[in-house]
Chains A and B, each alone.
Chain A
């Protein structure tokens, strides 16, 4: 059974039909990436999985359990955490408080402590800045915090929405290395990216989204070598 199974979901914003029947699945231990142009519906897909918006049709199951009718905070308790587009860290909370919020639903003090150490080991920069207000961090540090905060939920499935957005190339490399490391430590990742080259090269499998529909899917390698993908998303003629 797939860890996450998304089946023919349709999501609307008022009259706007943003997702027109999306079906994807993510298996345990994978990195799966979702690429597509601006406005294709990538963030909407992640937000539908997280319960920030709800699908009008279709089902989403997590290890067989339906989650698409649950409010966002209950989906987190079932082990899905997201580092949202644009980071959305709490600027007036300190770094440590942001991480504490990431573990909001948890009661296992020992586990929280262990995960805090895990996050600080992944991002030593955050440890140095524990007491600093998140709003005063640099863009790259805020992205680290957003990922770290999501990890604090100790998720079975980690959703990342454009983690490389607006970062200098050296930081992009760091973030992608860290995603691989997080995955190697056993966390399943669903990654949305504009940077298709990087995303496809670390992903086990990938989907291409166009105006609310999945138009292509395959392994990362297959899509990297697909002429259409090359032309549309990798800028190769």
Chain B
């Protein structure tokens, strides 16, 4: 019996668990210290949480693109961050043009529709071209090949944008109607953040309805389970794959606009860090799992927003906010070590009869 136990608990596993427990203890200790010190008011916590949810919604929208493509093709589309960036860029161009004509301030709703439309069309175009040119010819190649191609495509897009639009950071124009705060349920909230969260919720509901209820959505799930069997049903697998890239691209384009509203800037590397974080979120939730990507995105957004003040501050770490990116990727490493399938990954194990 002891042998059995020994076999199950290798030395590395034990060390890993000890490290994990230590980290968990640090999180609790840090939070405890911060809360006891009473350094931040309730107002600060509220702001941090709302900002976290807003930024997490954007991560979630990008993460869905990673997770859906993975679900269908079992490949990580590393250029998805650039699909997002291209949407943010087009959003910037449209927004600037509208600002110059005064439309941005005079007709906010029309402006938002045009900005989102421009962003979505751009992102979808790039996503579909990627699939057609870079990935489809490699469908039957070993898995490493499309992965490397995706990384190459990602750099290609980054430096193409840099070549055309320069390396400077462009400031997003701010609509008059979105400045300041709004009071909801007795809480004073930034208008942009509320808009981002509401838009994300609408998009998520639309996506769930599409995937769960429509025939194409069901076919998408069927293809992600078994392509040959799906083809035997008369499903055009290639068309479903393109549809997946279109849906993922649309969400990324919309996310590009929402992200720009929160951070009010765009440049050729805009897709890089958010792309990696969204990928982290997708892994966190269990790659291939749509609900998981949503939860992973929200969790990462809130964690990134709260942890520096809540945990690191309490541990006496100076300038904690600078460590938020390190924290996001530490989370990725931890998930990969302790729960490689993610939080919701493979929960629905299909019973082999």
Of the candidates A76, A97, A135, which one forms a contact with B234 in the assembled complex, judged by CB atoms under 8 Å apart? A76
Q: Once the chains bind, are B229 and A135 in contact (CB under 8 Å)?
A: no
Q: What B residues does A7 contact at CB under 8 A?
A: none
Q: Once the chains bind, are B353 and A101 in contact (CB under 8 Å)?
A: no
Instruction: Tell whether A76 pairs with B350 under 8 Å between CB atoms, given A90-B221, A93-B218, A101-B219.
Output: no
* Interchain CA distance A74-B350 in the complex, whole Å: 29
Of the candidates B225, B226, B234, B351, which one forms a contact with A104 in the assembled complex, judged by CB atoms under 8 Å apart? B234
Instruction: Please tell me which stretch of A29-37, A80-88, A176-184, A222-230 contacts chain B, meaning at least 4 of its Cβ atoms lie within 8 angstroms of it.
Output: A80-88
Cβ distance B306 to chain A, nearest Cβ, rounded Å? 34
Contacts of A74-131 to chain B: CB distance below 8 A? 74, 76-77, 81-82, 84, 88-93, 97, 100-102, 104-105
Cβ distance A34 to chain B, nearest Cβ, rounded Å? 18
* Interchain CA distance A58-B235 in the complex, whole Å: 26
Q: What B residues does A102 contact at CB under 8 A?
A: 233
* Interchain CA distance A230-B233 in the complex, whole Å: 36
Of the candidates B221, B229, B234, which one forms a contact with A92 in the assembled complex, judged by CB atoms under 8 Å apart? B221
**Residue B331 interfacial (CB < 8 Å):** no
Contacts of B59-94 to chain A: CB distance below 8 A? none
Nearest B-chain residue to A52, judged by Cβ: B228
Of the candidates A72, A97, A133, which one forms a contact with B231 in the assembled complex, judged by CB atoms under 8 Å apart? A72
* Interchain CA distance A24-B327 in the complex, whole Å: 65
**Residue A137 interfacial (CB < 8 Å):** yes
Interface of chain B: mostly helix, strand, loop or mixed: helix
**Residue A175 interfacial (CB < 8 Å):** no
**Residue A18 interfacial (CB < 8 Å):** no
Interface of chain A: mostly helix, strand, loop or mixed: mixed
Of the candidates B218, B237, B351, which one forms a contact with A97 in the assembled complex, judged by CB atoms under 8 Å apart? B218
Q: Once the chains bind, are A76 and B225 in contact (CB under 8 Å)?
A: no
**Residue A71 interfacial (CB < 8 Å):** yes
Instruction: Tell whether A92 pairs with B350 under 8 Å between CB atoms, given A73-B237, A76-B234.
Output: yes
Instruction: Tell whether A76 pairs with B229 under 8 Å between CB atoms, given A90-B222, A101-B219, A104-B219.
Output: no
* Interchain CA distance A40-B31 in the complex, whole Å: 66
Cβ distance A206 to chain B, nearest Cβ, rounded Å? 24
Q: Once the chains bind, are A153 and B225 in contact (CB under 8 Å)?
A: no
Q: Chain A interface residue count: which class?
A: 35 or more
Q: Once the chains bind, are B232 and A81 in contact (CB under 8 Å)?
A: yes
Q: What B residues does A52 contact at CB under 8 A?
A: 228, 231-232
Q: What A residues does B218 contact at CB under 8 A?
A: 93, 97, 100-101
Q: Once the chains bind, are A101 and B233 in contact (CB under 8 Å)?
A: yes
Of the candidates A84, A92, A136, A137, which one forms a contact with B232 in the assembled complex, judged by CB atoms under 8 Å apart? A84
Apart from A72-B234, A92-B221, A92-B225, list 9 A-B contacts with CB within 8 A: A72-B231, A72-B232, A73-B235, A88-B228, A88-B232, A90-B229, A93-B225, A138-B353, A139-B353
List 7 tightest A-B contacts by C-beta distance, closest first: A91-B350, A135-B350, A76-B234, A139-B353, A105-B234, A72-B231, A88-B229
11 contacts across the A-B interface (CB closer than 8 A): A52-B228, A72-B231, A72-B232, A73-B233, A82-B232, A90-B229, A91-B351, A97-B218, A101-B219, A101-B230, A104-B233
* B-binding residues in A (CB < 8 A): 50-52, 71-74, 76-77, 81-82, 84, 88-93, 97, 100-102, 104-105, 133, 135-139, 142, 149-150, 153, 166
